[in-house]
Amino acid sequence: MFKFIIISFLLFSSLFAHPHTFIEIYPTIEVKNNKTIKIHFKWKLDEMTSSMLIMEFDQNSDGKIDKKENSFIYTTYFITLSDYNFYTDIKIKDKIQTFPKPKNFKATIENNKICYSFDIDKNYNIKDLKFDFGDEDFYVATILKKEFIKIVGATPKVSELDNDFYFGYRLELK
């Protein structure tokens, strides 16, 4: 009986999981001849998460992320997010693609928020291409608004994703 109570409690308490970090996503995508020629993402982390991370990231307390600090952030924090596909599923014909290794990573502090910027060095045909942003573990909430998006050579379509147990956004190019 005791085991049943413990297991029930653990299952019940997991239903109340909530995001610990909120990330605003700012995609910049250039399209030529129906193919992506540039994909750049900028993430802005929420103020609470940023305030904790700035204390660790800005080791010399100068209010900026220098080259050494950027390298530390990349290897210790950012690249480990590959285990979570960088909270982005790139889909072609609804099949999830392997997320390419991000290039040109740069961490900055902007208005007391930690920002990550990076490029995806891969060209995709925009027909049947979808970017789904979200965290199925529900520790990170992604936010994508139409005004965050810069698209050259195509028209963006943003829709909300309700995946039963987590919420996200989809970006399609038309």
Low-confidence ranges of the chain (pLDDT < 50): 2-16
pLDDT value, residue 91: 95
- Which residues on adjacent β-strands are paired with residue 89? 132
The pLDDT score that the predictor gives to residue 138 is 63
The CA–CA distances, whole Å, from 78 to 41, 101, 151 equal: 13, 11, 25
Check if the beta carbon of residue 130 is closer than 8 Å to that of residue 101.
no
- b/e burial code for range 51-63 (CB count within 10 A of at least 16 → b): eebbeebbeeeee
Angstrom distance (rounded) from CA 71 to CA 79: 10
pLDDT of residue 163: 65
For the chain, the structural domain boundaries read 17-173
Please report the pLDDT score of residue 9 as a whole number. Answer: 41
> Model pTM?
0.85
Chain length of the chain: 174
CATH, domain range 17-173: 2.70.170
